[in-house]
Amino acid sequence: MTLAHAWALRWPERRLLLLCALAIGLGFAMVLGSGYAEGRSFQTLDLLPLLLYVGSLLAMHLTLVAARFQGDQILLGTLAFLAGFGLLAQSRMGTLDPSDPANPGLYLFPAGIVLMLTVCLALMRGRYERLAAGQWLWAGLSLTLVAAILLLGQRYRGAVYGAGLITPTELLKVTVVLFLASFIDRHAKRLGNWGKGFPRPPVRDLLPLAGFWLALAGLLLAQRDLGMFVILNVTLLVMLHVGTGRAAYPVLGGLLATGGGYLILEFFSHGQRRIEAWLHPFQDPTGNSWQILQGLSGLYSGGLWGEGFGEGHPEYTPIAQSDFIYSVIGEELGFIGCVLLVLFFLVFFSRGLGIADQTRSGFGKLVSVGLISVLATQTFLNLGGVTKFIPLTGITLPFISHGGSSLITGLVSLGLILAISEGTPAGARKDKAKAAPSQTRAEPRPRQTPRRVTRGTSGEL
């Protein structure tokens, strides 16, 4: 493929990125203008976050064209908007202080984009299949990460966190998905064997997974990271279901989760308090439910359209810049702003799932499904918590919330999905064409085919 061809191929992405830059630019003018109206004088340096954002988009696009990247373009457009929206919200909250050009927060997004491109380019053309070989490496890395933070981290608000900006456990979202994808892909057939007659799980084949999971869950619960615990469990069930085609996994998991949920809440006082604040917010409005009610008050003040970025008073909601950023958006852009944001998230997820649908590599499919389910669960837990739809779990909103590790992890995940969307090299695809007839002949369950393709590919590599 020539460079000109690649340039022509990626015009939808170019258009989307341009529109993003325009919309975010307008939002940025709103944020700066309201600051100016409040008496802050305007500095050229104030434009730095916007310039860095636009520069990153431009560099990203040119790099992808230069690399003759054929992968997805919609995901990138959506991400550009979500991240830009996050940038607006953070500028508005004052967490991106441009008066100090050395502020590391300013360069988080550019650094994340660089990382995303590195991951994407390094793993495209089917090279991501090699990640499957490191199955137990990912498992070990995951456990080490949680153990390390448990030993070295600091206690804050009833849970353990890493030092400062860095929360190494965020990376779990990638490493655990990689482990699960390789494990489930390798043992898909046996994991799908629930016996004849009365269904019973293949306990012996699940043992290694269960052992790892118990260790991970134990460590996570020891540091009271309930949010992460929920995200990873949902992801596990989704991946088991997709990998084996067995609906029994989510059903069994759902039953276990209901029982386990009660047990866990028995032992976690801050979990109980959150349930209480969710069920009876007006029992203790100035204490336990203060944050959630302030967030909801912000939403109510915002109404349908809001007052515009920079016009609200999100400072009244505790830690609004991270977990409660959604209530700031609801306050300043109103209900419509929230619906738009949710729509962008939905487009993002649907595109991610679409890529998984079109991927014939079992490992690739599982990785994309896993990463999307991590992001979707995280988004749902955050939005649901802030709007009091579900109890508060205290996790960040992907791409929007303040928090470097969360943003970097999100971008690395996206890099992986992009690499998968690039597809497998021509040789492997020919192989797949050969494998195709066998698919119709074999069982109707789709899980069979991907596994064969994987084997074929790894044989060639």
Partner 1 sequence: MATLDINALLDPRLWPSTRLVLHVAFFLAVFFLLKQLFDLLDLARLKHLARPKGSYRIPMILLTLLFGALLIHQATWQLAGIYRPQFIGFMQLHDRREFNPAHWIQRGRLLDHRGEVLAYSEESQGRVYRRYPDGPVFAPVVGYTQPRFGATGMEAVATAHLNGGEPASLNDWGELGRQLVTRDKRPRGKDLVLTLDADLQRLAVERLAGQRGAVVILSPTDGAVRVLASVPSYDPNRIGAELFLDAEAGTSLLNRATQGLYPPGSVFKIAVAALALERGFSGTLDCPADGFTTSERYRKIRDHEYYEARRSGTSWRGHGRIGLAQAMARSSNVFFAQLGVQQGRDAFQTLADQIHLNRRISLHESPYGRFGLITGELPSLAKTDRHGLAQISIGQGRVLVTPAYMAMLVAAVGNQGVAMRPRLIAREPAEPFARFMSASTASQLAPMLRLVVTEGTARGIDTPRLRIAGKTGTAENAQGDAHSWFVGYAPADRPTLAVAVLVEHGGYGSLVAAPIARDLLLRAQETGLIHRDP
Q: Does 272 bind partner 1 (CB under 8 A)?
A: no
Decide whether 360 or 452 has the Cβ nearer to partner 1.
360
Is 304:316 a contact under the CB 8 Å cutoff? no
Q: Does 269 bind partner 1 (CB under 8 A)?
A: no
Given candidates 133, 255, 256, 346, which one binds partner 1 under the rule CB under 8 A? 346
Which listed range, 89-97, 198-206, 228-236, 379-387, lies at the site for partner 1 (CB under 8 A)? 379-387
Q: Does 79 bind partner 1 (CB under 8 A)?
A: no
Decide whether 136 or 305 has the Cβ nearer to partner 1.
305
Given candidates 286, 440, 444, 459, which one binds partner 1 under the rule CB under 8 A? 286
Q: How far is the CB of 248 from partner 1 (least distance, A)?
A: 17
Given candidates 270, 446, 455, 458, which one binds partner 1 under the rule CB under 8 A? 446
**What residue type is 164 in one-letter code?**
G
Provide the β-strand partners of residue 3: none
Q: Which residue has the tokens 């067995």?
A: 246
The rounded distance, in Å, linking the Cα atoms of 90 and 222 is 31
The rounded distance, in Å, linking the Cα atoms of 130 and 60 is 25
Q: Does 8 bind partner 1 (CB under 8 A)?
A: no
Q: How far is the CB of 73 from partner 1 (least distance, A)?
A: 5
HEC secondary structure over the chain: CCHHHHHHHCHHHHHHHHHHHHHHHHHHHHHHHHHHHCCCCCCHHHHHHHHHHHHHHHHHHHHHHHCCCCCCCHHHHHHHHHHHHHHHHHHHHCCCCCCCCCCHHHHHHHHHHHHHHHHHHHHCCCHHHHHHHHHHHHHHHHHHHHHHHHHHCEEECCEEECCCCCCHHHHHHHHHHHHHHHHHHHCHHHHCCCCCCCCCCCHHHHHHHHHHHHHHHHHHHHCCCHHHHHHHHHHHHHHHHHHHCCCHHHHHHHHHHHHHHHHHHHHCHHHHHHHHHHHCCCCCCCCCCHHHHHHHHHHHHHCCCCCCCCCCCHHHCCCCCCCCHHHHHHHHHHHHHHHHHHHHHHHHHHHHHHHHHHCCCHHHHHHHHHHHHHHHHHHHHHHHHHCCCCCCCCCCCCCCCCCHHHHHHHHHHHHHHHHHHCCCCHHHHHHHHHHHHHHHHCCCCCCHHHHHHHHHHHHHC
Q: Does 339 bind partner 1 (CB under 8 A)?
A: yes
Decide whether 132 or 369 has the Cβ nearer to partner 1.
369
Q: How far is the CB of 404 from partner 1 (least distance, A)?
A: 26
Which listed range, 18-26, 217-225, 246-254, 264-272, lies at the site for partner 1 (CB under 8 A)? 18-26
Given candidates 350, 445, 455, 458, which one binds partner 1 under the rule CB under 8 A? 350
Which listed range, 77-85, 100-108, 116-124, 184-192, lies at the site for partner 1 (CB under 8 A)? 77-85
Given candidates 164, 196, 304, 437, which one binds partner 1 under the rule CB under 8 A? 304
How many residues bind to partner 1 according to rule CB under 8 A? 93
Decide whether 10 or 186 has the Cβ nearer to partner 1.
10
* Cα dihedral: 374, 325, 350, 58 (round 10): -100
The pair of three-digit structure tokens given for residue 367, joined into one six-digit string: 């990785």
Could you give the C-alpha distances from 227 to 16, 50, 64, in angstroms and in order?
33, 32, 35
Chain residues 179-208 in contact with partner 1, contact rule CB under 8 A: none
The pair of three-digit structure tokens given for residue 249, joined into one six-digit string: 């996994």
Chain residues 315-334 in contact with partner 1, contact rule CB under 8 A: 316, 330-331, 333-334
Q: Does 308 bind partner 1 (CB under 8 A)?
A: yes
Could you give the C-alpha distances from 93 to 89, 309, 315, 388, in angstroms and in order?
6, 10, 8, 22
Decide whether 80 or 145 has the Cβ nearer to partner 1.
80
Q: How far is the CB of 137 from partner 1 (least distance, A)?
A: 28
Q: Does 342 bind partner 1 (CB under 8 A)?
A: yes
Q: Does 300 bind partner 1 (CB under 8 A)?
A: yes
Decide whether 180 or 333 has the Cβ nearer to partner 1.
333
Q: Does 26 bind partner 1 (CB under 8 A)?
A: yes
Given candidates 140, 261, 384, 455, which one binds partner 1 under the rule CB under 8 A? 384
Which listed range, 156-164, 172-180, 343-351, 394-402, lies at the site for partner 1 (CB under 8 A)? 343-351
Given candidates 389, 430, 460, 461, which one binds partner 1 under the rule CB under 8 A? 389
Given candidates 103, 193, 358, 458, which one binds partner 1 under the rule CB under 8 A? 358
Which listed range, 187-195, 201-209, 257-265, 336-344, lies at the site for partner 1 (CB under 8 A)? 336-344
Q: Does 36 bind partner 1 (CB under 8 A)?
A: yes
Given candidates 53, 60, 61, 78, which one binds partner 1 under the rule CB under 8 A? 78
Q: Does 44 bind partner 1 (CB under 8 A)?
A: yes
Decide whether 186 or 351 has the Cβ nearer to partner 1.
351
